[in-house]
């Protein structure tokens, strides 16, 4: 028996194949894999990453777990699993991130990348909040931060906010008001998220608009983690994703991640309980 794990999000997907002992036999990468925002594109990228990981390995005795963005509030996960040429379980990427990061221990995971989701595990019970996508949420995520930057830019153009170096630079690069509107009409979450590193860098340089955006992001993170903290004790928090460590708060004890979301997908694929239903 071989096991395939896939970690798919708004910026890309990764795949790995291992044997029963957990030895990695192949790896692959491909583009974005949010099955809610672009099902066909996500399927193509998932298949490409899986093929790269599998190479010449046999496919007839394979079990796969896919942790994907966009499957938590739709039937897209079941639809995708039915289309794949191997036995597969599709779960929310938050679950594979949780398993990879803290295993079966109690704790909270704050996964903040292109999107955002917050997950608590206590005595094997899991509760997730967030993960609604950019149109409805994904607060403090890279996409949310990038969109907030453009909103600050429009407020500058309307005279509500004073110009800052970052706002002036972005407005100039995009071509002023028409360019900002045009970008907003065609941008994907990954496009917005590509702006987030510039906000972080500008905040460190003292840009007032960038600092406002990051203060708002950290306020949203504090609300989410506080909501997940049980009343009777304080759980440690593991900060994941491209922005998790950058935006981490010191309000609670921190724990380092044991592994990645891809590790979590492989661990779930190897568990008989995953296939017992």
Residue-wise pLDDT tens digits, 192-202: 999 999 999 99
DSSP-assigned beta bridge partners for residue 121? 107, 126
Question: Which CATH superfamily does the domain covering 2-102+259-275 fall into?
Answer: ATPase, nucleotide binding domain (3.30.420.40)
Q: Say what the pTM is.
A: 0.83
pLDDT tens digits, one per residue of 212-241: 999 999 999 999 999 999 998 999 999 998
Equal fold, 2-102+259-275 vs 105-256: yes
Please give, one letter per residue, the 3-state secondary structure of the chain: CEEEEEEECCCCEEEEEECCCCCEEEEEEECCCCCCCCHHHHHHHHHHHHHHHHCCCCCCCEEEEEEECCCCCCCHHHHHHHHCCCEEEEEEHHHHHHHHHHCCCCEEEEEECCCEEEEEEECCEEEEEECCCCCCCCCCCHHHHHHHHHHHHHHHHHCCCCCCHHHHHHHHHHCHHHHHHHHHHHCCHHHHHCCHHHHHHHHHCCCHHHHHHHHHHHHHHHHHHHHHCCCCCCCCEEEECCCHHHHCCCCCCECCCCCCHHHHHHHHHHCHHHHCC
State residue 5's pLDDT score. Answer: 95
Angstrom distance (rounded) from CA 243 to CA 261: 15
- Which distant-in-sequence residues (6+ apart) come within 8 Å of 175 by Cβ? 182
Q: How confident is the model at residue 37 (pLDDT cuts 50, 70, 90)?
A: confident
In CATH, what class is 105-256?
Answer: alpha beta
Q: Which of 276, 277, 274, 255 is nearest to 95 (CA)?
A: 274
Task: Decide if 184 contacts 5 (C-beta within 8 A).
Answer: no
% of residues, the chain, pLDDT over 90: 65
Q: So where are the chain's domains?
A: 2-102+259-275, 105-256
Angstrom distance (rounded) from CA 31 to CA 99: 23
Sheet holding 116-122, edge to edge: 125-130, 116-122, 107-112, 237-240
Q: How confident is the model at residue 265 (pLDDT cuts 50, 70, 90)?
A: very high
């Amino acid at each position: 028996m071989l096991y395939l794990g896939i970690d798919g999000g708004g910026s890309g997907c990764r795949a790995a194949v291992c044997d029963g002992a957990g030895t990695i036999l192949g790896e692959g990468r491909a583009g974005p894999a949010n099955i809610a925002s672009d099902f066909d594109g996500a399927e193509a990228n998932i298949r490409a990453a899986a093929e790269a990981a599998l190479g010449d390995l046999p496919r007839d005795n394979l079990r796969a777990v896919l942790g994907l963005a966009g499957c938590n509030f739709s039937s897209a996960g079941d639809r995708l699993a039915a289309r794949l040429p191997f036995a597969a379980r599709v779960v929310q990427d938050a679950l594979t991130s949780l398993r990879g990061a803290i295993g079966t221990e109690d704790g909270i995971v704050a996964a903040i990348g292109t999107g955002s989701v917050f997950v608590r595990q206590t005595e094997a019970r899991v509760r997730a909040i967030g993960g609604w996508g950019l149109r409805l949420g994904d607060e403090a995520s890279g996409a949310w931060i990038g969109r907030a930057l453009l909103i600050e830019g429009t407020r500058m153009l309307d005279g509500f906010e004073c110009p800052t170096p970052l706002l002036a630079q972005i407005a100039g690069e995009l071509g002023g008001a028409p360019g900002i509107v045009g970008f907003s009409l065609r941008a994907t979450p990954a496009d917005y998220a590509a702006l987030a590193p510039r906000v972080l860098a500008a905040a460190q340089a003292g840009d007032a608009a960038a600092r406002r955006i990051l203060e708002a992001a950290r306020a949203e993170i504090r609300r989410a983690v506080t909501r997940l903290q049980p009343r009777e004790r304080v759980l440690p928090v593991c900060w994941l994703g491209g922005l998790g460590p950058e935006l981490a708060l010191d309000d609670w004890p921190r724990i380092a991640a044991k592994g990645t979301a891809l590790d979590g997908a492989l661990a779930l694929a190897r568990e008989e309980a995953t296939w017992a239903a």
